A = this chain, B = another copy of it.
C-alpha cells in the first residue's frame, strides 16, 4: 500500500478510535491492530501518539475551515456571511463524529508540540472570522476585532459542547442562537425597559 493511502487510512482509524475511547484510553497498539499494521508503522508516519492526534485534528480543522469559508463566499452582506458561516459550522459538526470534534477543541492537555499544530489551524479560523468583522467595521480597533472573533469562536465551541448533551437541538437552531446573540446582543431581550438607546456604563 502506498504512503498517502496508508496515511489516510491510519488517520481514519485513529479518528474513530480517539472518538470512541478518548485520547488517553486509546492505545497505539489497538489503533495499529485495527489498521492491520504494526505499531512502528504508526511511529514511522506520525512520530508519536501526540503527532497522530495532531494530524487528525489538523485534517478536521482544515476541512472545517474550508467548509465555512466556502459557505461564506457566496454571501451578500456581512450579516448573511455570519449566518452562513455559523450554519456551515454546526452542520459540519453534525456530519463528523461530535466526540472528536470536541477533542479537536482541547489544546492544553497535550504537549506543546501538538498544541502548536492545533493552535495554528485554529487561528486560521479566528482569522477568518476577524476578517469578516473587519470588513464591515473598519473603524473598530484591531485588538477589539480579535477579541470579538475569539468570542464568536468560543461561543460556537461551547454551544457545540452543549448540543452534545441536547441532541434535540438542531444545527440550524444552534446557529440561530449564536446569530441572534452576536447580532443584537442581549439588550434586545430585556422587555420591561423601554429606553434601550442609552449607553452601558463603560
Main secondary structure of the interface of A (DSSP, over half): helix
Q: Tell yes or no: A89 within 8 A of B by CB.
A: no
Contacts of A111 in B (CB 8 A): 22, 24-25
Q: Tell yes or no: A146 within 8 A of B by CB.
A: yes
Nearest CB of B to A28, in Å: 15
Most chain B CB within a 10 A radius of its CB, from A25, A174, A200: A200
One complex includes copies of this chain to the number of: 2
Alpha-carbon separation in the docked complex, A59 to B130 (Å): 35
Closest residue of B by beta carbon distance from A21: B111
Nearest CB of B to A52, in Å: 14
Q: List which A187-202 residues lie within 8 A (CB) of chain B.
A: 187-192, 196-197, 199-202
Contact A184 B200 (CB under 8 A): yes
